[in-house]
Amino acid sequence: MSKQQPIHEIRLGTIKATIWENRTDAGVRHNVNVSRLYKDGDQWKQTDGFGRNDLPLVAKVADLAHTWIFEKS
């Protein structure tokens, strides 16, 4: 059984929006996860916590995700 993959990803710097497609009886629905990437030693990790200076990019990737979903609908 393979793990479901996101249908699309938008990344600006360290801020990333991952778009997931869910098929339901009512049709296709999309969910979006927004995260911040950071490096811990040699490993890249992600968190859903954001600092004040991250918020403009959070807003931008959310807007781009909305546009992408809207255009696919």
With respect to residue 62, please indicate whether it lies within any of the assigned structural domains: yes
With respect to residue 52, please indicate whether it lies within any of the assigned structural domains: yes
Residues 20, 69: Cα–Cα separation, whole Å: 10
Total residue count of the chain as it appears in this document: 73
pLDDT reported for residue 3? 81
Range of the domain at 59: 8-72
With respect to residue 36, please indicate whether it lies within any of the assigned structural domains: yes
With respect to residue 1, please indicate whether it lies within any of the assigned structural domains: no
Residues 21-44 pLDDT 10s: 999 999 999 999 999 999 999 999
Angle at 42 (CA atoms; ends 40, 4), nearest 5 degrees? 80
Q: How many domains does the chain have?
A: 1
Name the pLDDT band for 5 (thresholds 50, 70, 90): very high
Task: Give the amino acid at 46.
Answer: Q
With respect to residue 2, please indicate whether it lies within any of the assigned structural domains: no
With respect to residue 28, please indicate whether it lies within any of the assigned structural domains: yes
Single pTM value for the model? 0.88
